[in-house]
Amino acid sequence: MARAWERAYGSNMTSTQLSAIQGDITEYDGDAVVNAANPRLAGGGGVDGAIHRAGGPSILEECRRWVAENGLLPTGAAMATGGGDLPVRKVIHTVGPIWDDHDPHTARDLLASCYRASLLLATRHDCSRVAFPNISTGVYGFPKQEAAEVAVTTVTDWVNTEEALEEVVFVCFSEENLEIYSGLLGV
């Protein structure tokens, strides 16, 4: 997949390449993909369904075991499974906020928590190349511009202050989302 835009961030010791592409997140060839999951971790529509279909039954089996042991995954939290049949080692599942269920400030905080929790898990699992979907912008109704602003700000803050990652890719399903990310970085 060709990169639509790229920009590097980081300190003088490390830098992380942030980029956005339009494409299918199940084809990302890195260390981990983030799944915009539901609290039951049961697959479903959108990104969640696509990851479960492409990744095969082992991902769902791990999710079911996790839910049996821990209960539903709270909004803003994350957990990790193996990559199944995907070209990654890990799938990091996170539950984004449903826009209409929260006041805007709380929804933004919960969405930012999704990105931070996912990045933390990625580093704990020695994943240096991670791809994110546009969390909560589908059926969960988060306004796309606002969600992209939260995503870019949260990830940029993380890579500038926390453990280094080599690459973070925002995989945009639509041209509209890709244009939003490009506009945020001024390219």
- Do 131 and 18 contact (CB within 8 A), yes or no? no
| Residue 176, token pair as written in the block | 């509209």
**Looking at the DSSP assignment, which residues form a beta bridge with residue 20?**
5, 170
Q: Is-catalytic flag, 157?
A: no
Distances from the Cα of 47 to the Cα of 106, 110, 133, angstroms:
23, 19, 7
Looking up tokens 């511009």 gives: 145
Q: Which amino acid is at 165?
A: L
The DSSP bridge pattern shows strands 90-95 and 167-172 to be unpaired
Which positions ≥6 away from 127 have C-beta within 8 Å?
30, 31, 32, 89, 90, 165
The DSSP bridge pattern shows strands 32-37 and 129-132 to be parallel
The Cα diameter of the chain in Å comes to: 45
Q: Which of these is catalytic: 48, 100, 126, 157? A: 48
Encode 129-158 in three state secondary structure: EEEECCCCCCCCCCCHHHHHHHHHHHHHHH
Active-site residues, by number, are: 48
